[in-house]
Each structure stands twice: as structure tokens, then as C-alpha cells.
Structure 1
Amino acid sequence: MNNLIKVGIIGLGRMGRFYLEEMQKSGRWNIAYICDTNPRSREFARKHSPESKVTNNEQEIFDDESVQVVGLFALADSRKEQIERAIRSGKHIISEKPVADTIMREWSAVRIAENSPLFSTVNLYLRNSWYHKLIKSYIRQGEIGELAIIRVCHLTPGLAPGEGHEYEGPSFHDCGMHYVDIARWYTGCNFKTWNAQGMRMWNYKDPWWLQCHGTFENGVVFDITQGHVYGQLSKKQTHNSYIDIIGTEGVVRMTHDFKTAVVELYGVTQTIREERPFGGKNIDELCNLFADSIQSGVRHPDLPTLRDSAIASEYAWKFLEDAKNKDLPAIGELQTLDRILERRRTMKNGYGLLQQV
């Protein structure tokens, strides 16, 4: 146990349980505390991690000087204050995204973390995926010539309005900021121009589908399409998810079915098709990189930063605001949304179903 990294988990909802499972499997973590305000989540913790101290008082974790790392997996409105407490108490941070509930508070959290020698990271899971790392490697090898166009699409039934978003915002912010981030990760620079169009599906107040295109500062063109609107009431549910990267000389693309991911390279010297397990949220990779950093004393360069998260969040909000300032059609009725929510409450298999606490 002395060689294990002592961690306190705050928030044992859907994402918190993923972290608990991966940390337990890795054999590198001593999960000393689990904190949640929901009695059913605490009951789950006692059952699945009996060696942990289960509490509803997060201050216990911050007060324990032996705890090296805190995992911040509760709602976004709690994270900025938790980041402050973690830094004051000398603890490294693994956070879910976004790192706060407003842009102003996100940038405050970034400044707090960056003014400390402690390590912090955030779950921008696409950066840790084998397929995006492989695609970036092909681009660096010059197989597609100069990077010119990035096309990203992620359409699923997914979380419906009113399900688990709260402070994380509409679909394009809650989920879509991952795709905003990965497009920026490929180009290595910030967005320059953008034009967004949204759709208020089922007459809901916020757009639940959004498409944005524009340019980066280096001239690369992008388009991102995201929405949890894809056949919510279809008898058999499906999805459409891909990245399509076009260079001056070749192309590389990826598709997945949430079980297997396929990368296809049409390069100047190689034509390759690579198929591997999808990898899910890649939390195992994030936790291992962070454990490596703690044990070596050197922050791993592949770890996303709180700044990366704040930038992706800010642009996702900007794209949403751009869409809201234009014609924002509403098609469908709220009664249809009621039927969707009722169906999802009773579904056993589906996209982005909420865990029953």
C-alpha cells in the first residue's frame, strides 16, 4: 500500500464510477476516500469499494494531509471551489470537464492551477484515444501532405434535454466541447473565424443540434457537427460518428461503433486500414499518465491541461452564441421530448443512459 497513490474521489455519479473502476483495475491507486451527497451513491461506494472511507463531507479529504490526489467528478458548479481547496491543501487534481460552470470561473480555476507546482489534468478523453494518436502520427509523417481540412461529426441519441446536463450546458457544450478540443489539438492553434447553425429539436429552448464551420489561425478549415438528436425514438437506435482529415496529398479518417474503431489512411506511400477496440472514455490511459507523473515528479506532456479545457469550453459557448444570434428554427413538439425521456427512463440498452443511483 505504501507504493500506491492515495486518492480521494469526490462525486460518484456516472463518470465517478468509471474512474473508480479503472483505478481499482490498475493496481496503482489507494482509493482512501469516496465522497458523495447522494445516499444511494454512498451505498454503492461501500459495496464496491469497502476499503475506502465513504463520506458526504468533502472537507475530510482536503484535511487529510496523506491524500495526494483528488478526483473532481461532481457537477461543474462545484469544481472551481474544489480546485482552490485542493491547491491550498497541496493535492494534485484530476477533473472532469468543464472545470467550472461559467467561463469566468473556468479561467479563474486555470489561473489558480497554473500558479501552483501541483499537477492537474482534465478528462478531454479524445486526446488519449489510440485512433487520434495514430492519425496525428500519419500527419506528422507527411502521408497526407499539408493538413488542410478537418471534418468532425458526432451524432447519437445520447443525453436528451433535461438529463444530466445542468451546469454543463446544451449538447454542443456538454459533449461537443470534446470535438472542439480535438480539432484544435490537430492544428495546434486557435480558431480564427466561425459560422454556426443550430436547431431547436422538439421545440426545446436550447439548440440540441449544431453545425459550425470556419478557419484556424494557420488557415486550416474545420467543420464540426454534433447533436444528441439522432433517432431518439427509432425502433433500433444508431449513430453517425467520424473524423475525416483532408490534406493536400492524401486523407485519413476514422469511424467507430462504440465497440471497434477503424482508421483508414490513404497516404502518399501507404494505404492502411487499422481496426482495434474503441477504448471508451480512455480513463485508464488518463489515470496511468497521471500516476506516471506523480511517481516520476515530471508532468507527462500528453496530459490535457485545465487551460485546454477552458479554451474548448469558451469556443463551444461562442459557437452556441453565434447560432443563437441567427435564425434558430424549432421543429417538433415538447410532447415528443416527453416521450423520449419516458422511453430513456425504462431503456436497458441505449446511448448515454443515466446510471440508476
Structure 2
Amino acid sequence: MKDSQIKIGIIGLGRMGRFYLDEMKKSEKWNIAYICDVNPEVRKEAEGLAPEGTRIVADEQVIFEDESVQAVGLFTLADQRLSQIEKAVRYDKHVIAEKPIADSIEREWQAVKLVENSSIIATVNLYLRNAWYHHVLKQFVESGEIGELAIIRICHMTPGLAPGEGHEYEGPAFHDCGMHYVDIARWYAGCEYETWHAQGMRMWSYKDPWWLQCHGTFQNGIVFDITQGFVYGQLAKDQTHNSYTDLIGTKGIARMTHDFKTAVVELHGVTRTERIERPYGGKNIDVLCDLFARRILEGKLSPDLPPMRDSAIASGYAWKFLQDATMHALPAIGDNATLEEIRQRRRTMTNGYGLLKHFK
């Protein structure tokens, strides 16, 4: 079986790295040859998580220099990804990576140019592209059932990650998380952003806005508004969230909500009305890994496999929207004492939103 599998090295076994490891272990397409992490505690834990025969290493160079390794998974912090992508190109390894693909927009475009001028297959986790509900919504829009798409409204607010919990290289919440919504709105519109106005809020008087709402237009005249923030009731007794996609046309509408377990799609077109409920699907890592594997094994271009160029574009606009927010009034409400209370609660929570792995 292993002779017909893709040999991969996983670099970085943090929260996201574990998602990839779990999904690749379930698939017959992958031979997880290596797991690499610089943290000795993580490497120790990896020994109990890795499939039989997987090598646990501290030095990523071992993976890149192994000629039998066909692909690498880059799940470290963003400040390391450009150098790892450079190595992947040099050693001819296909790449599946987390976003953003580097720690600045300039370095992200360096990574894009590297992969586009090489023969490797490279993709990035823009996970909403692989969500069943977005494909259902887009197909409904393209069928003409809602007339012409005119307005895209997207909201995603959860308690989520608090400031200081790993965003140092990924940027504030609207970049780290919000770039997914910047990307999917562009995906629906089918063209580039043209105008925008952003309003931010410095919750708990943190230096960066942890809530941001941006509205504007695309080049084809479609209007958008995107709201994102990890500010939604962190200290509430029972935590909740607010997440939706709302597509408004000249004749009908299509929308989606979810509770992180079940996604509900509601279609109100000119000839049919439909309600669809299916499992939410999480971050759809299984779908991304399968598309990536099929692309490698079959050598066929998959339009559903997100390219690094799209990640750099979404990242760039997310930074522009954040910058625009700083040009306007940027209120600061709350204080550091409340923020520290939130952080302390999250250190001891076992059930919540975006919880981090803590080592003993």
C-alpha cells in the first residue's frame, strides 16, 4: 500500500498541524514519513500520535533532503513559511500550507512567484472554498434563481482567540481569520475589490482592532459588507456566536448559517424554495487533502484547489481594510484587566471556541 501512497513530511504539529495529521491518517492516499517540530514536548506527544514507521525529527532539513519525500505540509508560524517554500522549490517538494503564506504581503508575493515559476504543486488552506454550503450557494446564484447577484453580506463573530494568543505573525483577528471572508466574498463576486471603508473597534483597549466591519464595492458593481471579530461574549456564562453568509440578488436570495455542527442553507429563488441541513464540516481539511492528493497522483488541474496567489490577494486586501480602519476614529472600549480575565478563563477552558493546546 505504501508504494502507491504520497510520501509527505509534516512540519509543525500545533493546532492546525494536528488537524492535517488526523485527516491524513484516515486516508489511504498518504504515507506520513516525517513529523517535525522544534518543541521537544510536541515531539514526545507526536510519538503517540504518529502512524507506525513515521520519523519524529527536530530539524526540517532532514525532510527536505530526503529525495523519497514528495510533499511537505507547512503548518508552522507564518514567519517561517517563505524560507520553507524556498526549500520546497529547491528540493522539488509539493506544498500544502496554512495561510498566510508569509509574515508580510511583500514576502507572500515572493512565495507566490517562487511556486509559479517552479514545477511543484502548491496549495493553501482557504478552507471556505472547500465548504459544501458555499458551493451550493454559488451554484444557486449561477443558475439565475436570484437574478443578478447584487449584495454579499458575511458575518463571523465568535469568542475565538484573544489578543496575544498566537497572532503575532498572522496579524490582528481580521487578517488571521478575516482574510477567509475577504477571499470568499471575492470568490462569489468573481472579480477584484474596487472601493472600501472600514470601521474597527479596539476592544479591551488592545493596540489592534479585534472587531472590524468593512463595506464597499467590487469592480463589477456588486456591494459587500464583511464583519469579523473575536469579541463575541468571551466571559458569557454560556458562549455563543453569530455567523452567516447572505447573498441578495435582484430577484431572490440565498443564505447560510451554522452552529459549528450543522450548516443550514436556505434558497429562495424565482422557481424554487429549498432548505438544506447537513453537517458543518469544520475546516474541511479532509477535502483539501483529498484534492491535493488527487492533483499529485493524477497530475490534473483542479479548479477547486486554492492557489497561493489567491491567498496573497486575500491577505493583501485584509491588510488594506485594516489600514483603512486606522484612518478613521478607532474607539477603545474595555480595559486590560478584562482582557487578562478572558485570557485566564481560556487557559482553563476545556470546551469553547478556538482553544489552544497547553502542554504540562
Length-normalised TM-score, structure 2:
0.98
Q: Indicate whether 1:94 and 2:96 are aligned.
A: yes
Q: What is the identity, as a one-letter code, of the residue corresponding to 1:290?
A: F
2:7 aligns with 6
Describe the SS at the equivalent of 1:168. coil
2:31 aligns with 30
Q: Indicate whether 1:53 and 2:55 are aligned.
A: yes
Describe the SS at the equivalent of 2:141. helix
1:191 aligns with 193
Counterpart CA distance in 2 for 1:53 and 1:225 is 43
Q: What is the identity, as a one-letter code, of the residue corresponding to 2:36?
A: C
Q: Indicate whether 1:40 and 2:12 are aligned.
A: no
Shift of 1:165: 1.2
Shift of 1:199: 0.2
1:156 aligns with 158
1:65 aligns with 67
1:307 aligns with 309
Describe the SS at the equivalent of 1:167. coil
Counterpart CA distance in 2 for 1:10 and 1:17 is 11
1:329 aligns with 331
Shift of 1:27: 1.7
- Counterpart of 1:166 (choices 160, 165, 168) is 168
Indicate conservation of the 8 Å contact 1:93/1:120, yes or no.
yes
Shift of 1:34: 0.5
1:226 aligns with 228
Q: 1:1-357, aligned counterparts within 5 Å?
A: 1-49=2-50, 50-357=52-359
Shift of 1:335: 0.4
Q: What is the identity, as a one-letter code, of the residue corresponding to 2:31?
A: N
Counterpart CA distance in 2 for 1:326 and 1:214 is 15
Equivalent residue pairs, number: 357
Shift of 1:323: 0.3
Shift of 1:43: 1.2
- The share of aligned pairs that are identical, in percent, is 69
Unaligned runs of 5+ in 1: none
Counterpart CA distance in 1 for 2:191 and 2:103 is 24
Indicate conservation of the 8 Å contact 1:160/1:228, yes or no.
yes
Shift of 1:239: 0.2
Q: What is the identity, as a one-letter code, of the residue corresponding to 2:30?
A: W
Indicate conservation of the 8 Å contact 1:119/1:299, yes or no.
no
Counterpart CA distance in 2 for 1:187 and 1:36 is 39
Counterpart CA distance in 1 for 2:357 and 2:241 is 20
Indicate conservation of the 8 Å contact 1:152/1:243, yes or no.
yes
Describe the SS at the equivalent of 1:300. coil
Shift of 1:93: 0.3
Shift of 1:44: 1.7
Describe the SS at the equivalent of 2:185. helix
Counterpart CA distance in 2 for 1:297 and 1:263 is 34
Describe the SS at the equivalent of 2:169. helix
Describe the SS at the equivalent of 1:276. strand
Q: What is the identity, as a one-letter code, of the residue corresponding to 2:12?
A: G
Indicate conservation of the 8 Å contact 1:164/1:354, yes or no.
no
Q: Deviations over 1:199-231 (max 9, x none)?
A: 000000000000000000110000000000000
- 291-300 or 206-215: bigger deviation: 291-300
Counterpart CA distance in 1 for 2:89 and 2:223 is 39
Indicate conservation of the 8 Å contact 1:196/1:322, yes or no.
yes
Q: Runs ≥4 in structure 1, deviation > 4 angstroms?
A: none
Counterpart CA distance in 2 for 1:326 and 1:306 is 31
Indicate conservation of the 8 Å contact 1:156/1:351, yes or no.
yes
Counterpart CA distance in 1 for 2:131 and 2:282 is 8
Q: Deviations over 1:205-263 (max 9, x none)?
A: 00000000000011000000000000010000000000000001000000000000000
Counterpart CA distance in 2 for 1:155 and 1:344 is 17
Unaligned runs of 5+ in 2: none
Counterpart CA distance in 2 for 1:76 and 1:290 is 21
Q: Deviations over 1:48-89 (max 9, x none)?
A: 114210001000010001100000000000000100100110
Over the residues paired in the alignment, what is the CA RMSD in angstroms?
A: 0.6
Counterpart CA distance in 2 for 1:128 and 1:277 is 14
Length-normalised TM-score, structure 1:
0.99
